[in-house]
Chain A
Amino acid sequence: MVKPYEMTAAEAADRIKSQELSAEEYIASLLERVHQVDEKIHAFVTVIEEAKRKARDVDRRVRRREKLGFLAGVALAVKDNISTRGVRTTCSSRMLKDYFPPYDATVLEKLKTCDAIIIGKTNMDEFAMGTTTETSYFGTTHNPWDSQKVPGGSSGGSAAAVVADEASLALGSDTGGSIRCPASYCSTVGLKPTYGLVSRFGLISYANSLEQIGPLTKTVHDCALLLSALCGHDPRDTTSASIPPMDYTAFLQSNTEGLRIGVPTEFLGEGVEDEVKKTVWTAIHKFESLGVSYEELSLPSMSYALAAYYVVAMSEASSNLARYDGMRYGYRNRKDEGDWPTVYAKNRRRGFGPEVRRRLILGTYALSAGYYDQYYLKALKVRTLIRRDFEKALREYDVLVGPTMPLLPFDIGEKIDDPLTLYTCDVLTVPANLTGNPAISIPCGFSKGLPIGLQIIGRPFDEGTILRAAYAFEQNTDHHERRPSI
C-alpha cells in the first residue's frame, strides 16, 4: 500500500480529485515525513505549516464539485531564491535571512491557479553560487542516498526533498547546472527549460542571461505536468519568449523509433570517471534497443565552455548583486560605521559568504576597464561559437546525450576549499546555459550505491522531444523506482 508521501504528483492529484484520498491526509502525511527525516537531510529552510489549511480548502472545494486546477492539493517544495509573498525567502544567505517578499514570483502565481500547495522553501547554495549546497548560510543539505555525500547544487534542497519523499514536486533554478546536477546526484528528474520559456519574474537573480526556473520531480510524467504549469510568456519578464503555454504531457509516448542521438566525444572524454562513462554507455545502448540510432560527434568549442561560463556568470552576478546594500532590505550591521560606500562594503562583508564575495570581485574585475575586452567580451564571443556548434549538431541529431556530471557524488567538505576544482564539476552542464538550449537529467543507473544521471539536450523550445526520449528510457528501465533508505 503506497503511503501518501510516496506518491508521484500525478497519482496524488488523481486520488485527491476522485476523493479517494483527502488533501488534508496527504499533506499531513508529507509534513509528518518532513518532521521525521529532515533533521538528517536538511532539505528545508522554512516549512509552511499553513499548508494544512490550504489542504482543507482544496477538500472543501472538491466536495462541492467546484472546478479545481490540475495540480489541486499537490505538495510543492520551492527553492529559496523564488519569491513567496509573506514567506521568508533567504537565498540561503545571511543577507536575506529575514527578507519577506511583498509579492509572489509569476511561477508561483501560476501554480496557485493550478491549486498546488507550497509546503516549504528549500535549501540551496548561497545565491545559487555553487555545485554542492555547501555554501548555504544555514548549513549543507545531505544526500539522501549517503548522508556523508553532497546532494549536488545549487538546488540541493529541492532534489533531496523530492527523492526523500518530503515533497511530490519541487522547483529549482539552473544557471550553470543547478537543477540538473542535484537531479543527477539525488536520482530525480530535473529539467532546465529553454531560456525564456519560464518567467524569471520573482526569481532572485544571480546571472540573468543564463538562468531558468525548472522542475525537479520523481518521474518524467510529473516533470511534464509541472513544466506545463510553469511555461508561457510573461509581460513582467522582458526576457520571456512569446510562446503560449503548452501541455507537455502530450509528448509522453513510448515510441522513439527513428530518433537520432548525437554523443559528443567531449562529454565522455578524459576527466569523466570510468563508472560514469560505463553507465552512460549502457544507457545509450538501451536507447538503441528502443529503435534509436546514435552517432558520436565532436564539439570542439566545448573545451572553452567552462571558462566562458564562469566569466559571464561572475560578471552578471557582480551587477545583479549590487542592489544588496542593506538600505531597503537585507543585512545591515548594528551600527553604521563611516560614509555610505564604507557602510555598504561592511554590510556586504557580513551579509555575503566567501564564495559570493569571490564571484562579485572577480566579476567586477572581468568587467573593469582594461580587462573587459579580454574577459567579458571575449567570453561572449566564445558563447557565440558554442551556440553555433550546438545549432549545427542539432540539425543532424534530434538530441545530444551524455552524463550530467563527470563524477559520482563526493564527500561533503572534500572540494569546498578549492574553488577551481569545484567549478570543474560543472563542465558538462554549463554549455546548455550559455546557449539557452533545454536540457534534462534523468536517473540512468547507480555505482557503489550512488546515482548517475543521463543528460539529454534538445533544440530551443523542443522540450517535447527531450521528454519523449526521457519517458521512453524511463518506461523501459527501473532506476526511477529506487528510493533511498533513510
Chain B
Amino acid sequence: MLPEGQDLSARTANGALMSRRHISREEVEHVAWLAHVELTENEKALFTRQFNRILDYFKKIAEADTENLPPTYHVLDLANVFRCDETRESLSKEETLKNAPRKEEGFFRSPRIV
C-alpha cells in the first residue's frame, strides 16, 4: 500500500532524487498564478521537485479499473437541499466589518481592480 516503484534511493550524479517528469517549473509557476499563491524563487525549485515526486505517486490511480463506475462527489444521497425562501436575521454591518484588515466608511477597502 505504500509507494511502490518509488526507488527512494535512486539518485542522479549530483545527488538529486530521480523522479519522472510530470510538471515543469514553468507549469508550477503558471498553476501558482491560477491559485493566486505567490512563491519565493527557492520554493519554485523545491516545489517543482516535490510535486514531481508526489505526482509520480498519484499516477497509481490510473491503474485502477473504474470502467463504468460513476464518480462519488459526495457519500450521502442528498440533492437539492433547500430552505424556504424567507428573510432571516443576518450579521450586522459592524460584525461583518469587525475582522476586516482595511475598511473605510462602512466598506471593505480593496486594492485597485480596474
Tell me whether A348 and B61 are in contact in the complex, defined as CB-CB below 8 angstroms, given that A266-B1, A329-B99, A340-B112 are known contacts: no
Asked if A99 and B71 sit within 8 Å, CB to CB, the answer is no
Q: Is A420 an interface residue (CB 8 A)?
A: yes
Taking chain B's interface residues, is the majority helix, strand, or loop, or is none over half, making it mixed?
loop
Asked if A362 and B100 sit within 8 Å, CB to CB, the answer is no
Asked if B75 and A436 sit within 8 Å, CB to CB, the answer is yes
CB nearest to B68 among chain A residues:
A381
Asked if A384 and B71 sit within 8 Å, CB to CB, the answer is yes
Residues of chain B with a CB closer than 8 A to A289's CB: none
Asked if B111 and A348 sit within 8 Å, CB to CB, the answer is no
Q: Within the complex, which residue of A311, A361, A387 is in contact with B28, where a contact is CB–CB below 8 Å? A: A361
Residues of chain A with a CB closer than 8 A to B95's CB: 102
CB nearest to A337 among chain B residues:
B111
Asked if B31 and A365 sit within 8 Å, CB to CB, the answer is yes
Asked if A364 and B35 sit within 8 Å, CB to CB, the answer is yes
Asked if B37 and A424 sit within 8 Å, CB to CB, the answer is no
Tell me the complex Cα distance, A434–B72, Å: 9
Q: Is A368 an interface residue (CB 8 A)?
A: yes
Asked if B78 and A239 sit within 8 Å, CB to CB, the answer is yes
Q: Is A481 an interface residue (CB 8 A)?
A: no
Tell me the complex Cα distance, A100–B100, Å: 11
Taking chain A's interface residues, is the majority helix, strand, or loop, or is none over half, making it mixed?
helix
Give chain A interface residues in 332-369, CB to chain B under 8 Å. Answer: 332, 336, 338-346, 348-349, 352, 354, 357-358, 360-366, 368
Tell me the complex Cα distance, A247–B32, Å: 47
Asked if B54 and A362 sit within 8 Å, CB to CB, the answer is yes
Residues of chain A with a CB closer than 8 A to B36's CB: 322, 325, 341, 344-345, 348
Tell me the complex Cα distance, A349–B42, Å: 13
Tell me whether A195 and B76 are in contact in the complex, defined as CB-CB below 8 angstroms, given that A271-B1, A354-B43, A378-B66 are known contacts: yes
Tell me the complex Cα distance, A419–B49, Å: 11
Asked if A340 and B71 sit within 8 Å, CB to CB, the answer is no
- Of the listed stretches A27-35, A56-64, A112-120, A296-304, chain B binds A296-304
Q: Within the complex, which residue of B1, B43, B76 is in contact with A306, where a contact is CB–CB below 8 Å? A: B1
Contact with A along B8-41 (1 / 0, CB 8 A): 0000000000000001000110011111111110
| A163 CB to nearest B CB, Å | 28
| B98 CB to nearest A CB, Å | 7
Tell me whether A99 and B99 are in contact in the complex, defined as CB-CB below 8 angstroms, given that A345-B36, A378-B61, A427-B1 are known contacts: yes
Tell me the complex Cα distance, A336–B102, Å: 10
How big is the B interface, by class? 35 or more
Tell me whether A304 and B61 are in contact in the complex, defined as CB-CB below 8 angstroms, given that A344-B36, A381-B66 are known contacts: yes
Residue among B36, B81, B113 with most chain A CB within 10 A:
B36
Asked if B76 and A241 sit within 8 Å, CB to CB, the answer is yes
Tell me whether A338 and B111 are in contact in the complex, defined as CB-CB below 8 angstroms, given that A304-B61, A330-B101, A344-B36 are known contacts: yes
Asked if B34 and A364 sit within 8 Å, CB to CB, the answer is yes
Tell me the complex Cα distance, A304–B69, Å: 15
Asked if A361 and B35 sit within 8 Å, CB to CB, the answer is yes
Asked if A102 and B96 sit within 8 Å, CB to CB, the answer is yes
Tell me whether A209 and B113 are in contact in the complex, defined as CB-CB below 8 angstroms, given that A365-B31, A378-B62 are known contacts: no
Asked if A368 and B61 sit within 8 Å, CB to CB, the answer is no
Q: Is A318 an interface residue (CB 8 A)?
A: yes
Apart from A196-B76, A271-B2, what 18 extra A-B contacts exist at CB < 8 Å? A195-B75, A271-B1, A307-B60, A307-B61, A310-B54, A325-B36, A329-B100, A348-B36, A348-B37, A348-B38, A360-B37, A361-B47, A378-B61, A378-B62, A381-B69, A383-B71, A385-B66, A420-B57
Interface residues of B (CB under 8 A from A): 1-3, 6, 23, 27-28, 31-40, 43, 47, 50-51, 53-55, 57-66, 69-76, 78, 81, 83, 91, 95-96, 98-102, 108, 110-113
A-B contacts, 24 listed (Cβ < 8 Å): A102-B96, A196-B75, A306-B57, A311-B61, A325-B36, A327-B102, A327-B108, A329-B99, A344-B36, A345-B37, A348-B37, A349-B37, A349-B39, A349-B40, A360-B35, A361-B35, A362-B55, A365-B31, A377-B71, A378-B64, A385-B66, A385-B69, A387-B72, A424-B3
Counting from the closest, the 4 A-B pairs by CB-CB distance are A380-B71, A436-B75, A332-B101, A381-B66
